[in-house]
Amino acid sequence: MKRSIIILLAFAIMLTFSACNPQVPEDTAEKEEVTYKYWQWDSSTSKWVQLTDTITDYTVVTSSTTELKNGFYVVNSNVEIKDRVDVSWDTKLIICDGAELKVPKGIDISEYDSLTIFTNNSGTGKLTIDNCDSGYPALGSKGNTGDVYIYACTINVQGGYKSAAIGCGDAENCNGGVFEIFGGTVTATGGSQGAGIGGGFKSDGGEITIHRGTVIATGTDGGAGIGGGNEGRGGDVVLDGGTVIATGSANAYEYIGMGIGEGAVALKSGMISGQKLAELKVSEDNANWGYYLGESKQYMKVVEGEI
């Protein structure tokens, strides 16, 4: 009898201890602080200023991550994700120094959603997208595209067939969304008939602003470097700074997509503005294409510090 009472008391004590000290799942354990840098407009000085912030509330990206659902996500090692990744709401992605994220099938950013990409400290994080399915962009959507903001990163992306690298896929009359770059190095190559940044086949460039960093955008088979895909109109482009090399291409009928502006045949460029227009260069090989911005230019180059 005494033995039974002792066993029952011991069991009751164990239950009480467990209730007061529950097991903490690994994914709720305290995380290390992650630093990231970004730029913000200072209205008091009328200048962009770089700020640094830290977070501890984030999700670590792994090879099984196929959705980025709002909030902060961190890549802190080399990661490859085989499937196409879907972005929802306002998602922020930090690719840490020395880490590389490979998503061969691309990242889907639909209308009304946004993706902001940061790195931390030295800004040596990398994003590579190089094997998208036909009709899909590397960063963007097959239909109307959401917004992409890049504060720092080395980004190498290529669109699928009839798709931009950053912007629209193969969907006629869709719009390339908002693309804004504050730093880093972005190399964007359109798939066949797509712009480097902007529209896919018969789709238009969106609103594109380049503040700083290096952008190398190349259209393919009638796509503009920055602007419309083959038979797609150019969007609104602001060249505020940085180094920009934009190269259009000829389609099968030898109509030319512009460096910055419309794709082949489209005949409408959109608004092109910004303080770097004075530094616009036309390559010597294509000087005879004319000097009116957005029209008759296969290749254009804007270089910071050169006039």
Residue environment code for 38-66, b if the CB has 16+ CB neighbours within 10 A, otherwise e: bbeeeeeeeeeeeeeeeeeebeebeeebe
**Percentage above 70 pLDDT, the chain:** 79
pLDDT above 70 (res 47): yes
pLDDT above 60 (res 48): yes
CA pair distance 52, 152, nearest whole angstrom: 12
* Residue range 105-113: mean pLDDT, rounded: 95
Query: Which pair of tokens denotes residue 200?
Result: 């896919």
| Class of residue 174 by CB neighbours under 10 A (exposed 0-12, middle 13-18, buried 19+) | buried
CA pair distance 252, 80, nearest whole angstrom: 35
Asked whether the whole model's pTM tops 0.75, one would answer yes
* Residue range 163-179: mean pLDDT, rounded: 88
**Percentage above 90 pLDDT, the chain:** 48
Query: Which pair of tokens denotes residue 208?
Result: 């594109």
CA pair distance 122, 267, nearest whole angstrom: 42
Kindly indicate the confidence band of residue 143, based on its pLDDT and cuts at 50, 70 and 90: confident
Looking at every residue in the chain, the average pLDDT score rounds to: 81
Collect all residues with Cβ–Cβ distance below 8 Å to 216 and sequence separation of at least 6. Answer: 185, 186, 187, 188, 196, 245
Helices (H), the chain: 2-20
pLDDT for residue 161: 96
CA pair distance 90, 114, nearest whole angstrom: 5
pLDDT above 70 (res 221): yes
Q: Between 251 and 174, where is the model more confident?
A: 251
pLDDT above 90 (res 118): yes
